[in-house]
Structure 1
């Protein structure tokens, strides 16, 4: 049983050195406005108030919505579930996600939070939101990116992952728990790792689902581009499709110069229907075959239908927060990190295309690696304060990493890379699965159950 400890009754461990992520220790955080959650019986919804600028240079504060299960005396303590993006709401997803994690709720006290810039306090950039919604791959116009940066002003510098890590430490102290267990999905796995690398003695165990490596994603998505061919061939073999879809894809993107759109389509398909059967999403294999045979119209229509984020409100997924955080966090962009002047970014992108070999990204082309939304969005984002790196190089607590072998958003190669540098980490690869495993696959759920309930 996890004993409670009031905030301020114990000095911070020595490894929790003062930094952008530990300035929260200067105040006594607390949860306010507590009421039963209207959409989730057995949970209390409240607010955590945190400073906008952890360095104290800019005034203002943020109210982050928190949903907390009422079983404060749960035998295995508190489980913080971190959602993805960056940009996805947290507490607002509780009604759906509590079903996925129901097998843990008798043993753990589940907590969810709307990370800064999401949920009710979402950063709203209307043109950008309308263009890309929740997509990493869809390319925004330079005008929409610059307009978003203008709307946010200098406050855009206060939405790094390190700022969120500091918010989570405030939340832990407000809950009065000395340690907790973290479960992060997609970008949430990156947040969880950075918290664990900043406050290692505060974490009992950690689950990383659909893993973003602790150094951040490869801005070029080389592993995901390369993995697409393997994923298509696996699906074709299962369905007896009668052609080589990877070779067809290579032919199509060269003939019609639509690599980014095709990649976007396949990424979404791999999330919705990782076996690419076409029963729950567009029939990707059939569309590629038609395009390779000289009829690209159905494929291009499917790509066009996918574009645009008009149906995704910022409170559900903030495209503005996505860019503000992602562009600050990237340290492996073609131009370096977020401090690089705007005028130096385009030459760096051009140089990257010249240096990439086709075999590194096949069945796509090198220009696809720099043409998608991550590079093109951050290419036009103004220079900003970079995400401060955590003080510790390795996660020291027990860590379970789970990843689908057909995940193109956070490809399996990323999880393998992270597992290799995690001393007490165990990687479980889930066959036939795409992005976001828990609650959607019995192999993944069994691994989590064994890890968290053993």
Structure 2
């Protein structure tokens, strides 16, 4: 919306297998702390957590954690949360320690491989092959149902609420009263959910490329509507002479390929936030030659390949299907009636919902179809979605070229954030701290350096 370890838990491993792999004793402790290989100044350990935080089901998980060695940092723990859902944290410690270096004399940087990621990635080979690192590529029904069957009943323990409970056990294991949370993409949603559940344990929040606490829209309507704005801004900034908004509308009308186009655009922002090649290919396709655009779409699909250890599509589906609200309800809704509910919702859409795209695009994205076919699964209660975040300082950071988490979502979250500070970086796309120029990172440094 992407720690290595010594053991990969496949989708066919059982709760009993995981219990056997976990150390004896209670859950929530850090064990086996040692210097992280090849990473100076950091120690790695395993956090043991229950498979089922509510009890009643045996089994534990071991989650890899990397912690800076400056345990007496004056501003305490800075917990950096990666995205997905499905991305691990520990492999990115070196990169983020470089990006955040100016403030790490004051903070102790901590990163974690959330449940179902990294060495404990949920393994669903066919779904992984079909979707790679994409949210939007439509999977086959068989890949989805095989994945859910392989994970088995344990799939009900991989929602964001379970990860939030893991993070609370991490806080206790670190021995700190409060933490500063810095989340990117899905990591912002996890940080928001943690702040809603444990407001007394949050010092401040950095939310970069914001997914609002009200949740992800499986129709991705904000991104569909934002695409003309983003492409037009990119065109104006680079001096192109076409009308990419008009070209986009013509391409979708002529070739009925809205899903492929929004999928490619959303991925292309990681390649080039100016979208230059995409803008050119859209113009050529609008003029009657779809070849270059089809080539870019095929290249994007090929370039989106990712292993489960890099971004687990099994975890991605498990989390989104547990967390999400869909035209048919939630994942505890019988599968038999879902298609009819989706078709009804699609028939009720208007151009105001999807901009230059069409209803078939809004109802045909991978984020929707994966959960359309996900077997019926018990769902946890969701927190009241319109409860405001606690009154701690919050930085809302975004790029105006972002289609993965469009700015409209940032402003939705602002309405529920009492002490929000908004920084929008012109020309930046997704994951501002990691990919954009110094403007966004400087805003983070300034925010984290305040007393």
TM-score above 0.5, yes or no: yes
Which residue in 1 is equivalent to 2:377? Answer: 384
- Structure 1 residue 452, shift from structure 2 partner: 0.9
Which residue in 2 is equivalent to 1:11? Answer: none
Structure 2: runs of 5 or more not aligned: 1-24
Distance in structure 1 (CA, Å) of the matches to 2:430 and 2:70: 30
Structure 1: runs of 5 or more not aligned: 1-25, 278-282
**Deviation larger for 398-407 or 41-50:** 398-407
Distance in structure 2 (CA, Å) of the matches to 1:194 and 1:238: 36
Which residue in 1 is equivalent to 2:8? Answer: none
- Structure 1 residue 310, shift from structure 2 partner: 7.9
- Which residue of the other structure, out of 377, 402, 409, is the alignment partner of 2:404? 409
Distance in structure 1 (CA, Å) of the matches to 2:202 and 2:223: 30
- Structure 1 residue 271, shift from structure 2 partner: 2.7
Which residue in 2 is equivalent to 1:122? Answer: 121
Q: Closer, same or farther in 2 for the Cα pair 1:110/1:193, shift >3 Å?
A: same
- Which residue of the other structure, out of 436, 445, 448, is the alignment partner of 2:444? 448
The alignment status of 1:346 with 2:342, answered yes or no, reads: no
- Which residue of the other structure, out of 320, 326, 330, is the alignment partner of 2:314? 320
- Indicate if the aligned counterparts of 1:131 and 1:310 stay in contact, CA closer than 8 A: no
- Structure 1 residue 443, shift from structure 2 partner: 2.1
Which residue in 2 is equivalent to 1:360? Answer: 353
1:364-415 CA deviation, whole Å, 9 max, x = no partner?
1121111111001111111223243237922112211111111111110111
Distance in structure 1 (CA, Å) of the matches to 2:418 and 2:305: 43
- Indicate if the aligned counterparts of 1:161 and 1:387 stay in contact, CA closer than 8 A: no
Which residue in 2 is equivalent to 1:336? Answer: 329
Q: Closer, same or farther in 2 for the Cα pair 1:131/1:315, shift >3 Å?
A: same
Distance in structure 2 (CA, Å) of the matches to 1:40 and 1:307: 33
The residue matched to 1:423 in structure 2 has which SS? coil
1:73-126 CA deviation, whole Å, 9 max, x = no partner?
011111000000000011122122221111221110000000000000000000
- Indicate if the aligned counterparts of 2:261 and 2:297 stay in contact, CA closer than 8 A: yes
Which residue in 2 is equivalent to 1:140? Answer: 139
**Deviation larger for 396-405 or 162-171:** 396-405
Which residue in 2 is equivalent to 1:206? Answer: 205
- Indicate if the aligned counterparts of 1:400 and 1:451 stay in contact, CA closer than 8 A: yes
1:341-365 CA deviation, whole Å, 9 max, x = no partner?
1112111111121111123212111
**Deviation larger for 140-149 or 243-252:** 243-252
Which residue in 1 is equivalent to 2:423? Answer: 428
User: How do 1:231-246 and structure 2 match up within 5 A?
Assistant: 231-246=230-245
- Indicate if the aligned counterparts of 2:159 and 2:319 stay in contact, CA closer than 8 A: yes
User: What TM-score do you get using the length of structure 1 for normalisation?
Assistant: 0.90
User: How do 1:11-160 and structure 2 match up within 5 A?
Assistant: 29-160=28-159
- Indicate if the aligned counterparts of 1:90 and 1:115 stay in contact, CA closer than 8 A: yes
- Structure 1 residue 161, shift from structure 2 partner: 0.5
- Structure 1 residue 322, shift from structure 2 partner: 0.2
Distance in structure 2 (CA, Å) of the matches to 1:33 and 1:421: 40
- Structure 1 residue 64, shift from structure 2 partner: 0.1
Which residue in 2 is equivalent to 1:373? Answer: 366
- Indicate if the aligned counterparts of 2:235 and 2:241 stay in contact, CA closer than 8 A: yes
The residue matched to 2:270 in structure 1 has which SS? helix
**Deviation larger for 79-88 or 46-55:** 46-55
- Indicate if the aligned counterparts of 1:197 and 1:391 stay in contact, CA closer than 8 A: no
- Indicate if the aligned counterparts of 2:323 and 2:382 stay in contact, CA closer than 8 A: no
Distance in structure 2 (CA, Å) of the matches to 1:134 and 1:225: 19
- Structure 1 residue 29, shift from structure 2 partner: 2.4
Q: CA RMSD in A?
A: 1.6
Structure 1 residue ranges, 4+ long, deviating more than 6 angstroms after superposition: none
Distance in structure 1 (CA, Å) of the matches to 2:299 and 2:327: 30
The residue matched to 1:271 in structure 2 has which SS? coil
User: What TM-score do you get using the length of structure 2 for normalisation?
Assistant: 0.91
The alignment status of 1:307 with 2:301, answered yes or no, reads: yes
The alignment status of 1:290 with 2:266, answered yes or no, reads: no
- Indicate if the aligned counterparts of 1:198 and 1:391 stay in contact, CA closer than 8 A: no
Which residue in 2 is equivalent to 1:4? Answer: none
